[in-house]
Amino acid sequence: MPASSSLRRPRRAATAALSCASLACAALSLSCVPAPALSPAREPAPLRSLRITDGDLDGEPRTVSAAEALRDLDDARYAFEHAYAGLDGRSPSPSPLAIARAQGALRSRAAWRPAELARLLRDVFAAPDGHLAFGHGGRAPLRLAATPPPATPPPGPAPRLERATAAETAPLAPPPRRRDAPPRRLDSPRRLGHSPAVELTRSRDGVPVLAIRTFSSAAAAALAALPALAAELRRAPAFVVDLRGNAGGNYLFAERFALALTDAPLCALDEREVLSVAAAEGRANSVRRRLARGDVPDEARPRFVDHLAALERLAGTLRARALDGGAAAPRADLTTRGAQVRGRAEGPLEGRAVFLVDRGCASACEMLLALVRQIPGVLVAGQNTRGGMSVGEIAFFRLPRSGVTLSFGTRAFRDPLGDFAELRGFEPDVRLDGADLAEEAASLALRGAPSGAPRRDARTSCAPR
């Protein structure tokens, strides 16, 4: 996207108060990429409302007739066409032939139970997307991922890249032990299970170990401290950032942490955002559902309420513009590629950092890795990440007749270094499989990468590949 665009960088913000006016203007700019064309056999239809009423956000699903199931299939197709970002190079919705086959299957039976219809829709709309899911709410909720969860790769030796400098391989003297310093626990009142969202401890050798267990906006009070913690850690000769089990959340918290580690310019993630009434309504549905379910701590509710109001204003603005024009507003895809973000630290990273990951690291957690892997002195250790980063900022929809739900991303992202693969994730520089991975990671931070282990060359340009 040109430099004049109002969208500079990925914003998976469950909290960002977006300006309806600026986004509506962006929808009209020449930098927008046109949405994929509709089938020639189908003229653009009037805008539909995909807003879920408050009482139905987690409502009980019901068995429907074939005719009702066909209408729900068409609503699902509409949601995908108008709101799903999709993977680069793939259409956001199935081919007309796939839809026709699904219609034939639905006509073959008189009635469809919710779980059966959800499985059929999953098969029709499936894509290799770690966030795409189908299901329903109610007393016995169902969630069907579009793809099976990735298998953990077999243990093996660490990958070997080409060059490692003497500084990267030389052992470091252990920092002084500080047994008198208790763990620092930063958390919101509602914790993630029994563990704080952010916790700073030390290994047996005194290496700082910062555990970041979520980037959810519900833990905003704890996550706001991350830049200050990064400023402290970057002066240590060695430290560990433990991201195991971090399923993501608001990318802004992850980005601020990464930029506080260095003063270097970094290649931002490439981004493509869907701007449409359907996408805004779906994102608003997702926020309202979290609020209705009580998933948001009291101190974070104002932030969520403000974001919800911004999304609903945006949907209203786009819908009004469509009505004024007398036709359905086209979907606009806003694209940013080759952008840079500059580190905010006072200098380069002084020590050696090990980012410890596993299959639980996904979404905003993987987006953090896309940035920090560009910083000299950073190693990624552990296991492959989950591989659920390519399509984010989730929209939630409920088909009105059956109550079957759809959940998918409205922003597409791409790793600027090209090392990420959806469903496979990031591969670690050094694979760790021991019983005490945090201690192994601390030892790795002290001694450096094994001889001949990887060193990623710095990128001098963020131009699109």
More confident position, 8 or 58: 58
Q: State the pLDDT at residue 158.
A: 40
Residue 219: how many other CB atoms lie within 10 Å: 26
Tens digits of per-residue pLDDT, 264-321? Answer: 999 999 999 999 999 999 999 999 999 999 989 999 999 999 999 999 999 999 998 8
**What does the pLDDT look like over 181-216, one tens digit per residue?**
456 555 443 344 568 999 999 999 999 999 999 999
Per-residue pLDDT tens over the stretch 92-150: 999 999 999 999 999 999 999 999 999 999 999 999 999 999 999 999 999 999 986 55
**Tokens read off for 293:** 């379910």
SS3 33: strand
Measured distance CA(371)–CA(393) in Å, rounded: 18
What pLDDT was estimated at residue 370?
97
Distance, CA of 151 to CA of 386 (rounded, Å): 9
Burial of 331: CB neighbours in 10 Å, binned 0-12, 13-18, 19+: buried
- Categorize the per-residue pLDDT at 4 as very low, low, confident or very high, splitting at 50, 70 and 90: very low
pLDDT of residue 455: 54
Q: What is the mean pLDDT of the chain?
A: 83
**Better pLDDT: 217 or 27:** 217
Could you tell me where the beta strands, DSSP code E, fall in 116-182?
133-136, 142-145
**Residue 348 pLDDT:** 94
Residue-wise pLDDT tens digits, 361-386: 999 999 999 999 999 999 999 999 99
Closest CA to 402 of 143, 136, 144, 53: 136
Instruction: Give the residue, 441 or 435, on which the prediction is more confident.
Output: 441
Q: Residue 450's pLDDT is what?
A: 65
pLDDT digits (tens, 9 = 90+) for 396-426: 999 999 999 999 999 999 999 999 999 999 9
Give the three-class secondary structure for 334: strand
pLDDT greater than 70 at residue 436: yes
Q: Which amino acid is at 394?
A: I
pLDDT, residue 408, reads: 97
Q: What is the pLDDT of residue 434?
A: 86
In sequence order, the 6+-apart residues with CB closer than 8 A to the CB of 85 are 92, 272, 273, 274, 333, 391, 408, 409, 410, 411, 412
Report in angstroms the alpha-carbon separations of 346 from 82, 228, 343, 375, 460. Answer: 44, 12, 9, 14, 20
pLDDT of 286: 97
As a whole number of angstroms, the distance between CA 89 and CA 32 comes to: 17
pTM recorded for the entire structure:
0.80
Question: What band does 327 get if pLDDT is binned at 50, 70 and 90?
Answer: low
Half-sphere exposure of 244 (CA within 13 A, CB side): 15
pLDDT of residue 407: 97
Partnered with residue 270 across adjacent β-strands are 414
Q: In Å, how far are 16, 139, 166 from 302, measured between CA atoms?
A: 12, 29, 51
More confident residue, 274 or 10: 274
pLDDT score at 453: 54
Tokens of 454: 């990887």
The more confident residue out of 156 and 429 is: 429
Average pLDDT on 39-49 reads: 58
Write down the number of H helices and E strands in the chain.
12, 18
What pLDDT was estimated at residue 195? Answer: 82
CA dihedral 87, 88, 92, 97 (to 10 degrees): -100
Please state the rounded mean pLDDT for residues 69-78: 98
Higher local confidence (pLDDT), 281 or 16: 281
* pLDDT beyond 90 at 153: no
pLDDT band at 2 (very low <50, low <70, confident <90, very high): very low
Where residue 34 falls among pLDDT bands split at 50, 70, 90?
Answer: very low
Residue 172 has pLDDT above 90, yes or no: no
